[in-house]
Chains A and B, each alone.
Chain A
């Protein structure tokens, strides 16, 4: 039973609006990129099979809305995440400064059992823009922040050019796998000898 659970790795991508969360996912899963900005509404995922140590895993990658107004149902989907990817745009200082907010928000909402050691990965995206001339967050600064938060792995990526995307997700998958499953051990209160259960009736028949 545990094996079935372990075949699925759940990854959540968080970050400010417009940093390229959807693009990173599309680049990784579909090898496609579009320059057009399209806002994401709510949350949904794409899956990708990954081979790791001779085993096949399904990576369930959740893309989320960066704009708060498109997250009306809340973040119940954080539950059971194995890794959280924090993305910022190296050309926008604010998006880097907000990483802290996203990280804390995730820890509060997902409340993993061991928040200290919960795997995060940080991606500094859009390093291709203007040949790097317009970047405002240096690699050193980003790495320092990652180090201060318990040595979070850091990657500089370009979803547009596919630069480092594969490597980043390899690392994401590896870290997700390391995360101890938080499977709630469920034991039924009564052993149902009849092997069946009373239907709870509730209202209409739908």
Chain B
């Protein structure tokens, strides 16, 4: 059916073109032989093709353009005729003999153009005549094209100021009046189309109207190009007249399009100076007009204008552009009760961008816009409409992008209130945008107030919002989010310990609401942030002024204890153990023995009660040994308790080789090289001896269960420990002991039951090489190693 229509249309067009060409042919022939009568006759017949009602605007335009090109040649012919002495006035009369009105009016306009050029009569009179005569065509499509022809041929002949057709004092009024009248008539024709024909063809009609719109809008372009239309004239006459037509036509298609045209064709300065008039029209438009788009475009234009021409800024202030726009938006929303929330948000988003561009220093404006937006959103619950959501994200992103500084956004009290209306997912997206901005711009967030405000903004990431469905969470996304929160926590800093301590307390308050899934991500950065503060205070006189409220390492450690304790509910014992040990080490450096002891106690409790996996135990025990080894703050008693426990744990590991490794590592707890009061050679040796026994037992066990003794690696490792303490001067380690260990390993390696192990062989060989090397070194070392035979 549709293709049928299109095919028919092609046929009609082809027929029209054929008719047109045939008559043009005769017209050319007549012109070539200077036969005016025939030229007029054939041109009229040619133009009759434009009387068709069968073509859509697009096709009609094609036909029109061909006729148009032919009329240019006719126009030249008319000029030549005039030069040859034919009176143009007569010509003007003569063409009116054409039988049909449409060809007659096309010819009249064509001669009229030559007439004006001849200056035999004032341009304004001829134009007035022509624009009146065109009323003869009331068929919308034909009328619109005829009038657009008139507009085109008169375009360079308007009695504009400075034009060669300039008339008397009122010349510019005449030029303007002509265009305005043509515009008004065209708009009437265009609007009338809507009401002609059967209702079922409404869609087709609207499509046709949409195709024709530029013919009407063109007049506004012409008005904007008239030199004499200055601001004064625009404000007093042009704009009110055009707007009057826009409002009174009561047609939503025309209103939407023409408002868009006005905004686009006239310059920014004019809009700024007539803002009140222009904005006053919006509430009067039909409720179905998409005002938000038009108004947004206006604000966008003005924002760009402000952005590129700084000298225009005082003008913006002078005309109070912001408050006018703000008021207008309020009125439009009020007038259009059915406007979806998306529309209102779009308007405020545009206004916010405008305000940020034009008044970057007026944060109160931005906050006001957000406040108005909140007012619109209130009572609607969370926003479900995805388009509206997108607009809110744009709205909220604008201040962050503009200032590149979240701190500025934090000053906007209505900012978090707008966020309330986002669904949980989008709320998180927005929170991520905030965090990314902090990261990217390395924004320093330095006070408790700002931290509070910041956490208010990102609370979607900090805790479960209502109605969160857990199973919808993507594990990777979640990790990503929480890692970004962790990074953010590291960025919160103030050099003043008091303020920093408050920041830490604030962060703690917030992250503790995060629940077991988030704590493993958020607790560590807070712990390290706190430890950084401890390091800063470390070495300072404890409470130098006796000020009870002052921040001291002790106070921080108390807090740390509570922070880490939160992990027990997760549970995350491995993580908590590491953090306790970190704290213990810091307490050690602050010379706080009881505090350090307490942290160790906590770590041990976790080890005993929570860490049951063998592998985790091995890791934990080595961490404990490593940390304890570095402790110097403990008195003999405390230290004994802790080392005793540690060696006990070591010897109770599940697998013999693991036991062995942990026990020989414990030897370091008794002999610390740089601590003179911790050089208990005997107990260090005891550890090594015990490790040897375990290694032996491991060999035997292996023999029984697998039929082979396993590797000698453990023995070589123990030998290395012997050598270490030997070199460090532990008197309990004798040459004989080392000697016998070497022999033991050599024998073991030659034994049939030992599993060949090239790694162990190489290890042993390089150990021996080391001994050799030390022997050859000479001096005290060489002397020490001398007696060892390899």
Contacts of B211 in A (CB 8 A): 72-74
Residues in B240-277 with C-beta less than 8 Å from chain A: 260-261, 264-269
Contact status A5-B73, CB under 8 Å:
yes
Q: How far is the CB of B136 from chain A (nearest CB, A)?
A: 7
Contacts of A7 in B (CB 8 A): 76
Interface residue from A67, A79, A186 paired with B24 (Cβ < 8 Å)? A186
Partner-contacting stretch, out of B50-58, B595-603, B620-628: B50-58
Say yes or no: is B22 at the interface (Cβ < 8 Å to chain A). yes
Say yes or no: is A199 at the interface (Cβ < 8 Å to chain B). yes
Contact status A70-B152, CB under 8 Å:
no
Say yes or no: is B215 at the interface (Cβ < 8 Å to chain A). yes
Contact status A44-B155, CB under 8 Å:
yes
Contacts of B264 in A (CB 8 A): 38-39, 41, 67, 70
Contact status A41-B220, CB under 8 Å:
yes
Contact status B152-A44, CB under 8 Å:
yes
Say yes or no: is B32 at the interface (Cβ < 8 Å to chain A). yes
Contacts of A187 in B (CB 8 A): 25
Say yes or no: is B23 at the interface (Cβ < 8 Å to chain A). yes
Contact status A205-B100, CB under 8 Å:
yes
A7 nearest CB neighbor, chain B only? B76
Bound complex: CA A202 to CA B53 (Å): 8
Interface size on B, residues (CB 8 A): 64
Contact status A73-B58, CB under 8 Å:
yes
Contacts of A79 in B (CB 8 A): 62, 65-66, 69
Contact status A186-B22, CB under 8 Å:
yes
Bound complex: CA A7 to CA B76 (Å): 9
Say yes or no: is A76 at the interface (Cβ < 8 Å to chain B). yes
Known contacts: A4-B77, A32-B227. The answer to whether A197 contacts B23 by CB under 8 A is yes
Contacts of B28 in A (CB 8 A): 1, 4
Interface residue from A26, A36, A40, A71 paired with B269 (Cβ < 8 Å)? A36
Contact status B52-A202, CB under 8 Å:
yes
Residues in A188-206 with C-beta less than 8 Å from chain B: 188, 192, 195-197, 199-200, 202-206
Contacts of A60 in B (CB 8 A): 72
Say yes or no: is A46 at the interface (Cβ < 8 Å to chain B). yes
Interface centre among B28, B139, B210, B218 (most CB of A within 10 A): B218
Known contacts: A4-B76, A8-B76, A38-B265. The answer to whether A206 contacts B139 by CB under 8 A is yes
Say yes or no: is B572 at the interface (Cβ < 8 Å to chain A). no
Known contacts: A32-B227, A74-B61, A197-B45. The answer to whether A202 contacts B51 by CB under 8 A is yes
Say yes or no: is B447 at the interface (Cβ < 8 Å to chain A). no
Contact status A41-B65, CB under 8 Å:
no
Interface string of A32-60 (1 = CB under 8 A from B): 10101111111011110000000000101
Say yes or no: is B554 at the interface (Cβ < 8 Å to chain A). no
Bound complex: CA A76 to CA B32 (Å): 28
Known contacts: A4-B76, A206-B139. The answer to whether A37 contacts B267 by CB under 8 A is yes
Interface residue from B22, B51, B53, B214 paired with A73 (Cβ < 8 Å)? B214
Say yes or no: is B321 at the interface (Cβ < 8 Å to chain A). no
Contact status A37-B268, CB under 8 Å:
yes
Contact status A73-B215, CB under 8 Å:
yes
B21 nearest CB neighbor, chain A only? A186
Bound complex: CA A184 to CA B21 (Å): 9
Contact status A4-B31, CB under 8 Å:
yes
Interface string of B388-425 (1 = CB under 8 A from A): 00000000000000000000000000000000000000
Known contacts: A41-B220, A41-B265. The answer to whether A70 contacts B69 by CB under 8 A is no
Say yes or no: is B137 at the interface (Cβ < 8 Å to chain A). yes
Say yes or no: is B217 at the interface (Cβ < 8 Å to chain A). yes
9 pairs, A vs B, C-beta closer than 8 Å:
A37-B268, A42-B218, A46-B155, A70-B217, A74-B58, A77-B65, A79-B62, A206-B100, A206-B139
Known: A1-B28, A73-B215, A79-B62. 20 other contacts (CB 8 A): A5-B73, A29-B156, A36-B269, A38-B225, A39-B264, A42-B215, A44-B218, A47-B156, A58-B76, A70-B261, A77-B65, A79-B65, A186-B21, A186-B25, A188-B22, A188-B25, A202-B53, A206-B100, A206-B102, A206-B136
Which A-B residue pairs are the 6 nearest by beta carbons? Answer: A36-B267, A39-B264, A42-B214, A41-B221, A41-B217, A76-B65
